[in-house]
Amino acid sequence: MEVDGRIDLSNRSGDETHAAGETSRETSNFFGGPLRSLWEFAGGVNLAERPRGLAAEREAPPGPDPSLLDTATDGLLARRASDGDEHAFETLLRRHLSLMTAYATRLTASRADASDAVQEASIAIWRELPTLTAPDAVRGWMMKIVSRKAFDLIRSRKPTADVDDDAVVAQLPVTDAGDPARLAVSADAMSGLRRALDALPALQRQAWILREVGGESYGEIAEHLGITTTAARGQLARARENLTREMEAWR
């Protein structure tokens, strides 16, 4: 086929260096974290040697070199996924799956429910990615969908949602991996916090996790818990009192 004869190649390249959708908003919550506005990939990957698509593969182009996506930023994966790239979505999901599961487990107090909630959340994330306005903050956005799906599940299971608290405690042992020097100082506090959180009534525990880990607003917490905003503030206030009182004992 004649490439030159068929197309008029316009030359817009290089002129537009504005980053598309690169608004990085600082968030104070745990999931927001420091935002990486640049993405990185491993050197030495010879992209030129990747096989070209064959006619037989027309309906399902092969996925990209995994190392290309594995080292891409969340923001780039989110934008590719919202453009329909399933491989980018799977990479994004795998990257944050254990945190999504941990969050859902703390909220539902059930490992099995957490797995179901995260599954529903994953589909909702795929579905709603095209509406995401700040791709670089995708992790926090994903976690909000996880909490939404966790409470959908809790509501559908009432009133037995809290029965297997003990099972969760058993399944989430304190792991002593990490910096030994830091652990010497904080291990007692961490296991103390675990015990204190597990001892809190469900609403207080959920309000605390949603607020302090998920960075959700009073209004969002109230909606999740099915109570008024004033009542949500009350639950959070009691959680703060209980946890700070416990904390005094660890100092």
**Number of CB atoms found within 10 A of residue 108's CB:** 28
Instruction: Please tell me the distance from the alpha carbon of residue 75 to that of residue 157, in angstroms, as a whole number.
Output: 35
- Residue placing its CB nearer to another protein in the complex, 159 or 232: 232
126 burial (CB, 10 Å; 0-12 / 13-18 / 19+) is middle
* Shortest reach from residue 128's CB to another protein, in Å: 11
What does residue 197 show for φ and ψ, rounded to 5 degrees?
A: -65, -40
* Shortest reach from residue 159's CB to another protein, in Å: 25
* Shortest reach from residue 12's CB to another protein, in Å: 5
Q: Give the C-alpha distances (Å, rounded to integers) separating 159 from 67, 109, 156.
A: 46, 13, 9
Coil/strand/helix, residue 129: helix
Mapping DSSP onto H, E and C, the string for 52-119 reads CCCHHHCCCCCCCCHHHHHCCCHHHHHHHHHCCCHHHHHHHHHHHHHHHHHHHHHHHCCHHHHHHHHH
* Shortest reach from residue 88's CB to another protein, in Å: 9
* Shortest reach from residue 173's CB to another protein, in Å: 7
* Shortest reach from residue 79's CB to another protein, in Å: 5
- Residue placing its CB nearer to another protein in the complex, 116 or 225: 116
Count of all residues that appear for the chain in the document? 251
- Residue placing its CB nearer to another protein in the complex, 158 or 188: 188
Query: Contact 150/113 with Cβ under 8 angstroms?
Result: yes
- Residue placing its CB nearer to another protein in the complex, 123 or 163: 123
- Residue placing its CB nearer to another protein in the complex, 172 or 202: 172
- Residue placing its CB nearer to another protein in the complex, 157 or 194: 194
